[in-house]
Amino acid sequence: MSQQPDGWQGRVAFITGAATGIGLGVAQAFADAGMRLALSYRNEDDRASTAAWFAAKGYEQPLFCKLDVTDRARFAEVAEEVTDHFGEVHVLVNNAGVSVFGPTDEASYADYDWIMGVNFGGVVNGLVSFLPKIKASSGRRHVTNVASMAAFLPGPQAGIYTASKFAVRGLTESLRYNLAPHGVGCSLCCPALTRTNAWTSALKRPEGLAESGFPDVGEAQLRQFGTAFEEGMDPYVVGSKILAGMTNQDGLILTHPEHGPDFEEAHAKVMAALPVEDAPPGRLHIEQLRRDAMAAAEAGLVIKLDDLT
């Protein structure tokens, strides 16, 4: 068994998009840490290969749950299936997503509905379906939402994708304060280039959302784009870093070290944009109340609107 952080033995985790890519890497890292798993999947061949990995390791087979993360009714059924099977669920990893790119100024409603529906809506559906179960459980518990480095770094071909990841970032950073009083940890993970088949998302577009405004991209061009992913980090390494971040109760888990120059540039731009002038005492007081409330919430106190004025 690989050396992994302690404290997760026997904990039950549900991971979306867990039969390939980062989701599979998370599942494998969790399994090596002794966790019991429920995994969502879409493709039967992917399910079979994942089951074979667990069998080869001699691990308990996961509970496999076929799921389209945009299907709210099915998501609710899955939450019941997981708790019926294991008794409790302690960890939720919202990982499933699509990587689809194109010029934002040409996007159709269908482009927005599909990308936002999976990347942000799927996270929402996971939270609404599983948080009551997790809050009702005991012991160490955690929620991790997997976004992307696009949650910090926009790009000219990734407007809707970036919007979806910014949304996951904002939601998760706020949710952390809400879950602390319940003793539930919460992390935002923003991986960068990883060795996955995420580039194939454009080949799996649902029929009901087929009317794209993006220019047609041939499969050959997509495959050329996919060669970049071959340089990516091993998904198991990403999964191991997520597990380590959860163990440390890190609110933000960054897996790739190469983005220092991007963050330095972003910080410099933000600081340069701040007006150089005095703020009135009343506004300063309100902002200090906000800072104090955030610190108190992270320490486990329930914050109400009255605490902000």
Query: How would you write the pLDDT of the chain (309 residues) with one tens digit per residue?
Result: 344 456 899 999 999 999 999 999 999 999 999 999 999 999 999 999 999 999 999 999 999 999 999 999 999 999 999 999 999 999 999 999 998 889 999 999 999 999 999 999 999 999 999 999 999 999 999 999 999 999 999 988 899 999 999 999 999 999 999 999 999 999 999 999 999 987 788 778 888 998 999 988 777 877 777 787 888 999 999 999 999 999 999 999 999 999 999 999 999 999 999 999 999 999 999 999 999 999 999 999 999 999 998
Of the candidates 37, 30, 32, the one whose C-alpha atom is nearest the C-alpha of residue 58 is 32
- Assess whether 59 carries a catalytic annotation: no
Cβ neighbours of 218 (radius 10 Å): 8
For 95-232, strand residue ranges (E) read: 141-146, 184-190
Choose the catalytic residue: 41, 59, 109, 161. 161
300: left (phi over 0), alpha (psi -120 to 50) or beta: left
Of the candidates 43, 208, 198, the one whose C-alpha atom is nearest the C-alpha of residue 113 is 208
Residue 116 to residue 228: CA distance in whole angstroms: 24
Sheet arrangement for strand 252-254? 63-66, 36-41, 12-15, 91-94, 141-146, 184-190, 252-254
What would the two tokens of residue 265 be? 């540039």
| Cβ within 8 Å of residue 295, ≥6 positions away | none
Across-strand partners of 300? none
